[in-house]
Chain A
Amino acid sequence: MSDPKDPIDPFPTQAHPPVSPFPPLDPPSDWNSGADAHDLPTRENALVALGRFAFPPAPALDEEGAASRARRWTSQTLFVVCAFLMIFNAGSVQNWARQQPPGWGQSTVDRLATVWVEQLELLGADLPVEGLRQAWREFQAARFDGRTDVSD
């Protein structure tokens, strides 16, 4: 409902409040025109109340608690990133291992990565990335005259 006194109200409904044709009540009415039936307290579902009783919600986190939860969430995210890349980007680990000085650790990492890369190839799980890489290389090799550069 628009307020006629509000200067920014774009559509004032009335210039002045209506004048009641009835004499004022004595004592005045307790009718609350601003009240809404939805504001009245409603009865809580019994199951919800029971659940709340059985498993009371944790108190609101303090600053330290919130920071701790954010740290846990970040660590989990980083863990998922690492796991995802270890699974689908083992080729990088393989490349890295081949650039290291030879030794037991280097050869172990290299062999593990090589086996994993081959297993992924057998599964066909490398196809999306290889497809993208191939398309990217073709784009790199394209020339304005329609030829492709074999060096790419």
Chain B
Amino acid sequence: MLFPTLAFAVFFLFVYLVSWSLDRENGRRKLFLLLASWFFYAQWDWRFVGLLIASAVLNWGVAALIVRSDRAGRRKLWVGLGVAANLIILGFFKYYGFFVEQAVDLLAQFGWERDLPLLQVVLPVGISFFTFQGISYVVDVYRGKTAPAESLLDVMLLMSFFPHLVAGPIVRASDLLPQFARVPRLTREMATHGLLLIVWGLFKKTVIASELATRLVDPVFFDPSAYGAIDIAAAVYAYAVQIYCDFSAYSDMAIGIAALLGYSFPRNFDQPYRAASMQAFWRRWHISLSSWLRDYLYVPLGGGRKGLWSSCLNVMITMLLGGLWHGAAWTFVAWGALHGGAQVVERLGRAVAGDRKVIPTWLGVLITFHVVCVGWILFRAETFDLAMQMLVGLGRFETFSLVTPFVLALIVGGLAMHGLPPRAVEGLAERLKTAPSPTLGIMIGAAILLVEAMRPEGVAPFIYFQF
């Protein structure tokens, strides 16, 4: 059940009406939201609802054991076991096939031809997101940064809440558990903001991302050898716009849907292509993941506390694992290495130049954007061979066949979004919150009708569902 579908709209309206009719009973309301979330998840594969429940029980139990342990060593043991258990779940479902294949190849190189047990493990949608949430909950309880959940119900809802379940944002326990303590209070501002985010997300996903994918990105990345430099360069820029519009649309809609149910999620994107450095890019792109990696990987590794070279090494490790988080393929590892390497270069540059501004901001934005685009080639290409064909094709000047005024307008429009005021949707919500409900309703309805008139038929799954 995808967000931009009629089936989801009907499901959401039902959840909205029933959940607010239970506003005097917080426990029942949460239970209803949990059941609705499981129903939502079961639309992909009902068997994995059990995995979701098991994962929540595991993290709730480990957190309870941590709280009840009075010895530091035992607390450390429990947190270590909890994190390991989460990683084993993630590792089995997401990386089992990948690592077995690597092991077979490695053994074959040493002359050991072995038939290792290859299983076709189905990847549960959203597993990377809910296991990371589970890890953050256990670690935060261990660190004393968040109080343990009042009940198992809270942990289950934290991990299963349908707006963020399948593609984030990764909402931490410290953000959501306090909101579960009582029935949330809806404000006009939240509701208006939520509605605008849903419409804006709908536009970005169904009009910009879908059109760019089908008209330019998919054909070029499928067979780069058939196209010239202009088509390939346009496809790379188009993919930069597509992935931003696709993923930020999901985040916007998730934040908007949660807001209409009274819950507040953290922002996940902040005009990332405005970044003038790779470090700044990661403060604007998939913020919930980058802050997660910072707090639960980079800082525990030592962060920047042990000097320049140590911080460079830690950034590299963090970005490599961040790349692997996206998918079990070497192209994702290479993507992480590119981002890590670029950040290492920046750090070394800052160490040499100090506080002096070496390049103007506009040039920094341009360079950062193009480094990110090179990374998107690795991210999108199915294999290294196809990625290399894309790069080689950038030097092959032929007539273009796929670049049209329409596609160009979508690319330019997608990039021009980054020129909007940083809090444009919030500003608009602030203005519209005083409007009478029929006026706002007609405005929102007309906006959706406009999007419906422009969108192609059908809707492809969001890119981040595969992660």
User: What number of residue pairs across chains A and B have CB atoms under 8 A from each other?
Assistant: 101
Identify A67's interface contact among B16, B187, B444, CB under 8 A: B187
Question: Which bracket fits the contact residues of B?
Answer: 35 or more
Q: With a CB–CB cut-off of 8 A, which chain B residues contact A142?
A: 404-406
For chain B residues 194-217, which have a beta carbon within 8 Å of chain A? 195, 211
Which residue, of A63, A70, A88, A141, has the highest number of chain B Cβ atoms within 10 A? Answer: A70
Q: With a CB–CB cut-off of 8 A, which chain A residues contact B16?
A: 75, 78
A78 to B198 Cα, complex, angstroms: 12
- B448, A136: Cβ atoms closer than 8 Å: no
Q: With a CB–CB cut-off of 8 A, which chain A residues contact B404?
A: 140, 142-144, 149
Say if the beta carbon of B438 comes within 8 Å of chain A: yes
Say if the beta carbon of A89 comes within 8 Å of chain B: yes
Say if the beta carbon of A112 comes within 8 Å of chain B: no
- Which single residue of chain A is at the shortest CB-CB distance from B191? A74
Question: Which bracket fits the contact residues of A?
Answer: 35 or more
Say if the beta carbon of B345 comes within 8 Å of chain A: no
Identify B448's interface contact among A79, A85, A141, A149, CB under 8 A: A85
- A95, B453: Cβ atoms closer than 8 Å: no
Identify A71's interface contact among B186, B409, B452, CB under 8 A: B186
For chain B residues 348-398, which have a beta carbon within 8 Å of chain A? none
A140 to B407 Cα, complex, angstroms: 8
Q: With a CB–CB cut-off of 8 A, which chain B residues contact A143?
A: 404-405
A83 to B444 Cα, complex, angstroms: 11
Cβ distance B140 to chain A, nearest Cβ, rounded Å: 29
- A88, B445: Cβ atoms closer than 8 Å: yes
Identify B441's interface contact among A77, A136, A139, A149, CB under 8 A: A77
From DSSP, what is the main secondary structure of chain B's interface residues?
Answer: helix
Also in contact, A136 and B454, with CB within 8 A (given A74-B191, A77-B195, A144-B404): yes
- B438, A76: Cβ atoms closer than 8 Å: yes
Q: With a CB–CB cut-off of 8 A, which chain B residues contact A64?
A: 185
For chain A residues 82-117, which have a beta carbon within 8 Å of chain B? 82-85, 88-89, 92-93, 95-96
- A132, B453: Cβ atoms closer than 8 Å: yes
- B449, A75: Cβ atoms closer than 8 Å: no
For chain A residues 105-137, which have a beta carbon within 8 Å of chain B? 129, 132-133, 136
Interface residues in chain A, defined as those with a beta carbon under 8 Å from any beta carbon in chain B: 63-64, 66-67, 70-71, 73-85, 88-89, 92-93, 95-96, 129, 132-133, 136, 139-144, 149
